[in-house]
Each structure stands twice: as structure tokens, then as C-alpha cells.
Structure 1
Amino acid sequence: MVVKKWTQPRSPGRPPLDDELVQLIVRLATENRTWGGVRIQGELRRLGHRLGAGTIRRILRGRRIPPPTARDDRWRTFLQAHAESILAVTPPPRERGGFSLCRLGFATDQPGP
């Protein structure tokens, strides 16, 4: 006679996320195109939700929301966000070997580290 050994039943895994939380993740990603999974994770943590960045990326990938926009868009986004606090400084162009060189500098009113 064979006696079956008793084993602990396996748990079904992690419980699924609330639909409301998934909708919030999708909304944050679509309204803030430059935010990635880590930034969305930080915002959710401030709201009291603990979630991994990989979980957020998986949710967005499942909804066919692409990752943050191309990196060349960030400079334009930065300039648009800080346009009022940036003062453009342009010294007069200098000629060097037949080419005219122009230097461009930025000064902001933000306090330094």
C-alpha cells in the first residue's frame, strides 16, 4: 500500500493589481511622455502605492504604450520647462581661420549645490 505524503498546497502567486491602479499608471504614462517606469514608481510611492518599476514597465508594454520618448527630445523639453528662468548669454562671434565661431552660454536663477 502506497501512502501519499501530505504537502502544502501551492499558492496561486501574487494577487492581481487593482484596475484603478492600472488605470492610474496608464494615465501617468500617457500624460507625462518623458517619464519612465522608475519615475512613475516614485510618484506612486508618494501616493502610498508600493510597486516595482518592472511591473510598471510590464503594464505599459501590455497596453502598447512605448517607453519614454527619444533622448533628443529631452533638451527641448528642458528648455520649454525652464524658459522663464534661463537667461541666454551670447558674446560677439569671433573669426578664426575664415570661420565665425559663436559661443552660447546659459545662466539660471536656480541655487547651486
Structure 2
Amino acid sequence: MIFLMMSVLSLLLWGNRSLVLENAALRQQLAVLQRSAGRPRLKPADRRFWASLSKHCSEWKESLVLVQSATVIGWQRASFRVFWRWKSGPGKDRPQVSPELRQLIRQMSSANRLWGAPRIQAELAKLGIDVARSTVAKYMVRHRKGKPTAGPFWATFLRTHLRQTAAIDFLTVATANFRILYLFVVLSLGRRRILHINVTAHPTAQWTAQ
């Protein structure tokens, strides 16, 4: 495996990048076959090789012979989890949520039935309270769904006001080098068009309000 990686690095300096990566993929699988009797057995180093190659070579699936592409994607996700578990380290668990904060979240969600976890998280940030959205969602009051009151149903309301309605979402994206980027998107539901998009590695309340 060390010889293979040295060969790849030397070829990358002097040759065509795509051709070098494809050649490395075929060489790696040949090395597995040469040391295996019967069904090929891939070592952890083999899995790491393919997890990395799938991030840097767009045509990696065409060079794959020994396993399915879905298997490699699974290895990639597993390596991502291992990396962040290692980065978190022992003793770096999430801080305990105090009973007072739990009660405050319940009161805010009970008094404002239309507020979701993102809105409550933003309101808490204004008070100087830094709490994860998943934590807010965990302690919110679950309102029971009763019979609809007089007036239009939600489906009718949305159809009527679709052109004036926008959807807002926060999501995270993992990069090839295991960085986490935070994405804020505003989407027009009527036109299915992105109205606003912003990306940052360090989200703040001020960044969200922009």
C-alpha cells in the first residue's frame, strides 16, 4: 500500500491527473487480488483508499471492479463518522441542558404554537443562550392535532397563497476534507426559485439575520 501511494504521488507530479487516479485504482484492486485466495478480502487501508479516491476522482465508479459503488459510499460515510468521533475526543460530550432552559423552551413553544425549533433557537440566541436546534426540538411542547376549526384547511390556504409563500431551511454540508459548512436557503414555493442562499463555516445570530 505504501509503494502504491508513493507511485501515485510521483505520477501526479508528472502525469495526467485523471489517468493517474484511474491507474492507481486498477493497481490497488490488482494488489488485493494477488494477496487473496478465493473471495477478495479488503483491509481497512483498502477501504480508506477508495473512500478518498471517490472524493477526488469523478470517474472512480468506472474503475471499480471488486465491490459495488454503494459499498464505497458506505465506507466514505463511515470514515466521516470516525473522523468526527476522533475530533470530538473523550470527555467532549454535549453540555447538560439545565432544567430552567428546558422549562423556558417549553414555555416559548407553548405560548407560540406556530414557532418551530429554528425560530425558538434564534429567540434564545437574542437572550445570549447558545443551544442546538436539535436540543430545542427535543424539549418543545408537542401540540396535539385536533379537529380543524372553522375556516380553510391548510392545504387550501397554501394553494391560495403559494406565490406569496417562501420556505426557509438550515442544513449542513460535509466537504471532502471533513469540514462542516452551514447553509441557509430561502426558496420561493410558487416559482420554485432560490431567493437567497448563504454559506458559512461559523454561523452566528447576526449572520442568520442578514
TM-score by length of 1: 0.45
**More helix per residue: 1 or 2?**
2
TM-score by length of 2: 0.25
Taking CA–CA contacts closer than 8 Å with sequence separation of 6 or more, which of the two structures ends up with the larger relative contact order? 1
